[in-house]
Structure 1
Amino acid sequence: MSAALRQTAPRFKRKALFYGCLAAMMTSAVQAETSMDAIVVSGDWLGSGSEEEVKTYPGARDVVTQEELHERGALNLEDALRSTPGLQVLDETGTGILPNIGVRGMNPLRSERVQFLVDGYPIAIGPYTNVGVSLFPVTLPSVESIDIVRGGAAVHYGPNNLGGVINLHTRPIPRELEQTVREQITIAEETGHVLNDFYYRIGGAVNEDLALQFQINTQNGDGARDHSDTDVSNFILDAQYTPNDQNEITAQLQYYDVDAELPGALSAQAYKDDSTQSQRPYDAYDADMLRGTLTWTYTPNNDVEFQWRNFAHDADRTFFFGQRLGTGDHWADPSLESTHVADSPRLFTVYGTEPRLTLWNGNHKMIFGARYIREEVDFDVNRLELATGAYSNVRDWNFETDAWALYASDTIFMMDDRFELTPGIRYETVRTDYSDGISGFEDDNNVDEVLPGLTLGFHATDNVFLFANTQRSLVPVQTAQVTKPGEVGNETAWNYEIGARLQATHNLDIGATLFRIEHEDLIQYDRPSDSYQNLGEARSQGLELTGSWQASERLTLEANYTYLDTEQLSGDYKGNELANASRHHLGASAHYQYGLWQASLSGTHVSESYTDAANTKDETADGSAGRLPAYTLVNARVARDLELGGDKQLQLALSANNMLDEEYYFRGADVSPIGRIPGQGRSFILSAQVDF
């Protein structure tokens, strides 16, 4: 590929700043001597995601713990979430760098309809105008748990929460000096490609007031397919300063860098010939992000907590992709040779501040918050004509966004705290100015929305918890929608849930949730026309069932089932289903432990689905639309713990992902939207982890 196309903004200053901080931290952390409990920092409404909090949360919610992440032997985040009720996962890369996760029938592309948080902070590259995670600064080893909240959180965490909130808790700082070293190797059976994943963590208390932690995670090698070379570096520095019982300051500084080839989609014939090949030789991805958070928590007494959260990131992400122009064909048809190669660099500078006050007054718990976010985005597209070598700038856009949010809620506890009622309201005002550096055209988009919510929780008995909630959600117009033709607008939706959790016996937990989402002006990308469509009104509704049974002291069984019914209620496709909305989703797992041995088996079944609003059944000639087949995936893992002496523990594990080697595929995504993206074939994961 031309060197000009792979040229990105200088990063030396970012790395120098980060490595300097790391060096200072390492010098101090290794001196940790104080023995105290681990530090856990959590938000007010969602809390820390503990088992007890989840059982009494007034909405559909699941938490994948670190232990469960190990048991599932997940390849990446998509794999870790695949069995969660209500979630649709499209694995585009097999390496986890670009997750595509949809909730309850909403578009999974770039996870655009679910709000991703890390320790309560938004991580979308543009929290208001680029809500998709086209830059995902998270690697799985640094994650302590995954909190999936599908309802009841829209007042406190917005916008872009139509599908709920996924909060990734990073590993907490220990008080005693701790270190973790992990090496993991993933081997693709069919191609023999190897992806290496190295993780190191050191943390502990410097003194009674200060604790520090450093994590490094590097990934390099190839995914299961050709043209999938991947290099990821993730550095995280955590600090916590507690000068007294009333004040606490926490901070995190992160530098994330990724450089990867993207294998892209295949034509139907190429998929049948060899699903591991690539027909997109120019597709690639290059990105980095310097990210920081700073939180001050002041607790003058047991009835008052003031928290001031601040965050910022400086990001640079570029996609490189082949195009076929001037021939009348679809520009991304993988069966045809590209005439041009484009690069689409985007530079983001984002910062935000959010003060929040929590007050207890009798049987009332009141939360008042405000937030301001500033986004500055430079959006370019450049194009190289392969026949002549001519390189030109074809798009030069700039977006500046100022967003203010106000929110308040009042949780009222009644009936000896067995019943809780929480009315709440969120107000969002967003101002986005857009300018075209080539044509001189200027425009703006202004949003003012009042988003009310109500949640109810009732302890009917000591073993039965009932809940219900309704909330209104917002997604502002996205910059990606401006790049393509079509009628677009701000999206809003009403979300409704009613459910119950039952501890049937000491060893058996059961849950059921009925849900409904009513969309206004649902915006969806249409592959065949390469445009965004305003589908108007639509609805998603269904049922989620969960069960967990401690069958014996050694054996744990879990299962869940989601029934999803979607319908477009207006427009040209009235009566059709939504795209990528599988009607049936089934997950099941078994975990067995005998002494120092552990074994687990998990499976996921997903029924067939359509890939466009027109509900095209037969695959089109270029692969832009057509029904997706059902598929079933089975993973297995065996692990053994070994005591090494001196408080050192070694765990060895072998996992088999897609053990039955199921063949399945999705439709193309983003810069390769046409054709089939093969699912990951059978692979094996060898891992060794030492904790000391």
Structure 2
Amino acid sequence: MTPRFFPLAATAFAVLAALPAQADDSNLETLTIFGDAEAVKTVPGSAAYLGEEALEKFDYTDIMRVLTAVPGVYVSEEDGFGLRPNIGMRGSSQSRSEKITVMEDGVLVAPAPYASPAAYYFPTIGRMQAVEVFKGTSAVRYGPRTTGGVLNLVSRQVPDETAASVNLAYGSDNYIKAHGWAGGGSERLSGLVEWMHYQSDGFKTINGSGNDTGFNKDDVVLKVRSRSDASARIQQETEFKFHYANEDSDETYLGITDEDYRQDPYQRYSASQKDNMDSERFGYQLNHAAQLTPGLAWHSAIYYNDFARNWYKTGSGIVEEASLWDRDPAGQLPQSVDVKANNREYSAWGIQTQGEQAVGDHTVTFGVRYHEDEMDRFQWVDQYELGPDQLMRLTEAGIPGTDSNRIDSADAWAGFVSAELRFGDVRVDTGVRYEHVETLRRDWGKADPGRTQTPARKSNSVDGLMPALGVSYQISDDWLILAGVQKGFAPPAPGNNSAEEEESWNYEAGFRFNNGPFSVEAIGFLSDYDNMHGNCTAAQGCDEANIGDQENAGEVRIQGLEFSADLRPQAAGLTWPLGLRYTLSDSEFQNSFSSDLETWGEVTAGDEMPYVPEHLVQITAGVEGERWDLNLLGRYQSDVRTVAGAGAIPTAELLPSRWILDLSAHYRFDERQKIYVTVDNLLDETYIATRIHGGIQTGKPLSAIIGYQYDF
């Protein structure tokens, strides 16, 4: 895919940056949605802001552990480290976070957000300064997927003064983390460089070979920021961001059977010994902000992302066979094993711009975005022999392009107009979003690896109009009530034969109470789908012939309650923070149908959705002194069904309920340096994380880390 308008857009940015500027006290921050936790308190919809202090409390490098602090967010653990997160909101599918809009610094960050939304790349949470989550009426400005919600990750900002930091850690399974950044400069020109490396040998062992599993990941970020002179007529800010990331992880889709789980939950079958994910990403972003008049601010961004990965893995459909081979190698081996090179290259680019006009107490925001992306699948299958020594040897190398051989692409225009209207104690947020999406699939088939023939073509074109209305009333300084309605939308994939978009009407209502150290929020929600999508992926257990296709589930209703409470009492010269997060969910398919998705299967009207727990609870308790703190975090998940159904959950389709307890402790030697200890799964609970690939993937056991941070 060639970004056809990229040179023109870059020229426009250069012209804008060359304009003279005037001094102004306006905030030109363009990368965050809320800016801080205080702004969330008056939003007439469900929203959450996790700042740097909250992220550092447990120093997680797993985004899924971070997001359990947000009610209404569901996470499905897989590899134990959050390498490829599975995140859903308000009952939307969690698989590869494909049903939510994921952004970094305000721009789309999934490899191909329209053509292939499954997030096989996800930003590293360890280098973020903030996490913003908004659902329901709060999401009208952002898309393309607005039913579940929006996640914006805010990377480290260029510091106004010279500063630097080093963070080193070591832990269980040879876990190593090295994270450092430095930045600063003059008033008009400044920059930032950041590097983060982390790795682990993994907590599973491959049968026969005795090899560990694990990963290595690197992130590099470079930012350069230019600001106008304080005496110039129009104040402006331009920032260029470069990001590089790579990953080498020995991860697999091949789970284990229930019997093998009971005998050794942390084993991996010998047939998975060649499984490996190798990926590389380059990202570029150019931001511009200008205060054109005292009441009019303008923000724009150009972005281009390139992501390549090859997940080399044996199929998940041989769980039972692989179990037999390892139980009796002498009698069952040798065996032929196919290992597929799931080779894909992604690219995405876009330009977006928005203006914010203040009119008295009111603000009108309007914006437009043009976006292109594509996924290029060029895959093959190698054949190995698994011998009696349980080692695999290559017997026949496949020819690239002789398995899946196609390109899925999308072009999209999006625009919105929203207004924040204030009438005394009443705030009204209203707006409408429009999406026009065109998708195209070009499939050369397995017999044309050179792509010399005319490919089979399949195209879709859809338009979506999504209005939203949210109202809040500040009853007193402490109490606020809110309600809202919003139309949700998700475009069809190139493999959706009916070309039906996903549509829903989403309702929410609740209250907030904030009084010093005590706060409470409760919001009820209802997501009423006219047509729910299900994306066919290997993670969903689909056959190779159907991967990339999209199915329509028709009408689905998901309703529930999001509740949170925080208290920070003081006693004996110490602070004792307490927190509670709770999500209640109820889901129901409204019609019967048959599906190729492993998690849907044969659905009968009245069945519950898979992977939507009825109860999610997080409880935090801590104690803070002048230089130290100690925190405990407990997470509860009720029984989860892994296949759509009703009534009692069959054992083979059950994730049993679980409590997981984490611990963190910090000691600050002075203002610049601290030492910390974190323990995930403190009680070393053994639990089934997922069954989504035809076998059991076991959750991470007790893992301890000790680290040291020095701020310059």
When normalised by structure 1's length, the TM-score is 0.86
Match of 1:426 in 2: 433
Residue of structure 1 aligned with 2:285, choices 280, 293, 309: 293
Matched, 1:399 2:422: no
Amino acid in structure 2 at the alignment position of 1:681: P
**Post-superposition CA distance 1:75-109 (Å, at most 9, x none):** 52111222321222222122232111122222211
Matched, 1:139 2:139: no
CA distance in 1, matches of 2:623, 2:687: 29
The 5-angstrom pairing of residues 298-313 of structure 1 reads 298-313=290-305
State the 1:316 CA deviation: 0.6
The 5-angstrom pairing of residues 244-263 of structure 1 reads 244=229, 246-263=235-252
Residue of structure 2 aligned with 1:665, choices 688, 701, 706: 688
CA distance 1:578–1:334, change in 2 (3 Å)? farther
Q: Which moved more, 1:434-443 or 1:368-377?
A: 434-443
CA distance in 1, matches of 2:218, 2:127: 12
State the 1:684 CA deviation: 0.5
**Post-superposition CA distance 1:495-543 (Å, at most 9, x none):** 211121112x432111110101112222336857656653211011111
Match of 2:674 in 1: 651
> Counterpart of 1:78 in 2: which secondary structure?
helix
CA distance in 2, matches of 1:199, 1:354: 31
> Counterpart of 2:396 in 1: which secondary structure?
coil
Matched, 1:282 2:274: yes
CA distance 1:335–1:121, change in 2 (3 Å)? same
CA distance in 2, matches of 1:618, 1:489: 32
**Post-superposition CA distance 1:626-682 (Å, at most 9, x none):** 021101111111211112xxxx7221111221111122113344xxx1111111111
The 5-angstrom pairing of residues 60-209 of structure 1 reads 60-136=46-122, 138-187=123-172, 193-205=173-185, 207-209=186-188
Match of 1:509 in 2: 519
CA distance 1:410–1:545, change in 2 (3 Å)? same
Match of 2:222 in 1: 237
State the 1:277 CA deviation: 1.3
Q: Is the 8 A contact 1:129 1:476 kept in 2?
A: no
State the 1:341 CA deviation: 0.7
CA distance 1:506–1:362, change in 2 (3 Å)? closer
CA distance in 2, matches of 1:100, 1:133: 8
CA distance 1:292–1:106, change in 2 (3 Å)? same
CA distance in 2, matches of 1:146, 1:587: 18
State the 1:173 CA deviation: 1.6
Q: Is the 8 A contact 1:334 1:675 kept in 2?
A: no
**Post-superposition CA distance 1:173-216 (Å, at most 9, x none):** 212211110112231xxxxx2121110110112x2201101100
Q: Is the 8 A contact 1:499 1:512 kept in 2?
A: yes
CA distance 1:69–1:471, change in 2 (3 Å)? same
Residue of structure 2 aligned with 1:210, choices 164, 171, 189: 189
Q: Is the 8 A contact 1:283 1:321 kept in 2?
A: yes
Match of 1:410 in 2: 419
> Counterpart of 2:54 in 1: which secondary structure?
helix
Match of 1:270 in 2: 260
Amino acid in structure 2 at the alignment position of 1:262: E
CA distance in 2, matches of 1:70, 1:350: 31
Q: Is the 8 A contact 2:78 2:690 kept in 1?
A: no
Match of 2:20 in 1: none
Match of 2:667 in 1: 640
Q: Is the 8 A contact 1:78 1:91 kept in 2?
A: yes
Q: Is the 8 A contact 2:642 2:691 kept in 1?
A: no
> Counterpart of 1:391 in 2: which secondary structure?
coil
CA distance 1:511–1:203, change in 2 (3 Å)? same
State the 1:489 CA deviation: 4.1
State the 1:421 CA deviation: 1.5
The 5-angstrom pairing of residues 546-625 of structure 1 reads 546-552=564-570, 554-572=575-593, 573-615=604-646
Q: Is the 8 A contact 2:31 2:106 kept in 1?
A: yes
Match of 1:41 in 2: 29
- Provide structure 1 residue ranges, at least 5 long, that are not aligned to the other structure: 1-36, 188-192
**Post-superposition CA distance 1:273-322 (Å, at most 9, x none):** 11111122232211111001111111122210111111111111221111
When normalised by structure 2's length, the TM-score is 0.83
Match of 2:330 in 1: none
Q: Is the 8 A contact 2:460 2:499 kept in 1?
A: no
Amino acid in structure 2 at the alignment position of 1:200: G
CA distance in 2, matches of 1:330, 1:444: 34
CA distance in 1, matches of 2:125, 2:170: 14
**Post-superposition CA distance 1:407-461 (Å, at most 9, x none):** 111222213xx21212211111111121112373111011111111112122121
CA distance 1:444–1:70, change in 2 (3 Å)? same
State the 1:110 CA deviation: 0.6
Q: Is the 8 A contact 2:30 2:299 kept in 1?
A: no
Amino acid in structure 1 at the alignment position of 2:475: A
Amino acid in structure 2 at the alignment position of 1:323: G
CA distance 1:539–1:488, change in 2 (3 Å)? farther
Q: How many residues align?
A: 625
**Post-superposition CA distance 1:528-569 (Å, at most 9, x none):** 765665321101111111111111151111112111111111
CA distance in 2, matches of 1:222, 1:216: 21
The 5-angstrom pairing of residues 1-20 of structure 1 reads none
Match of 1:454 in 2: 469
**Post-superposition CA distance 1:461-500 (Å, at most 9, x none):** 1111222222122222336x67xxx988432222211121
Match of 2:508 in 1: 497
Q: Is the 8 A contact 1:322 1:332 kept in 2?
A: no
CA distance 1:40–1:297, change in 2 (3 Å)? closer
Q: Is the 8 A contact 1:73 1:636 kept in 2?
A: no
CA distance in 2, matches of 1:406, 1:88: 29
State the 1:131 CA deviation: 1.9
> Counterpart of 1:548 in 2: which secondary structure?
strand
Q: Is the 8 A contact 1:77 1:96 kept in 2?
A: yes
Residue of structure 2 aligned with 1:535, choices 526, 546, 553: 553
Residue of structure 1 aligned with 2:481, choices 433, 443, 466: 466
> Counterpart of 2:475 in 1: which secondary structure?
strand
Match of 1:691 in 2: 711
State the 1:130 CA deviation: 2.0
CA distance 1:574–1:528, change in 2 (3 Å)? farther
Q: Is the 8 A contact 1:152 1:470 kept in 2?
A: yes
CA distance in 2, matches of 1:571, 1:386: 42
Q: Which moved more, 1:594-603 or 1:606-615?
A: 606-615
Q: Which moved more, 1:602-611 or 1:84-93?
A: 84-93
Match of 1:544 in 2: 562
- Provide structure 2 residue ranges, at least 5 long, that are not aligned to the other structure: 1-24, 206-211, 326-335, 386-394, 449-454, 594-603
Amino acid in structure 1 at the alignment position of 2:239: T
> Counterpart of 1:461 in 2: which secondary structure?
coil
**Post-superposition CA distance 1:319-349 (Å, at most 9, x none):** 111138xxxx668975366631101211122
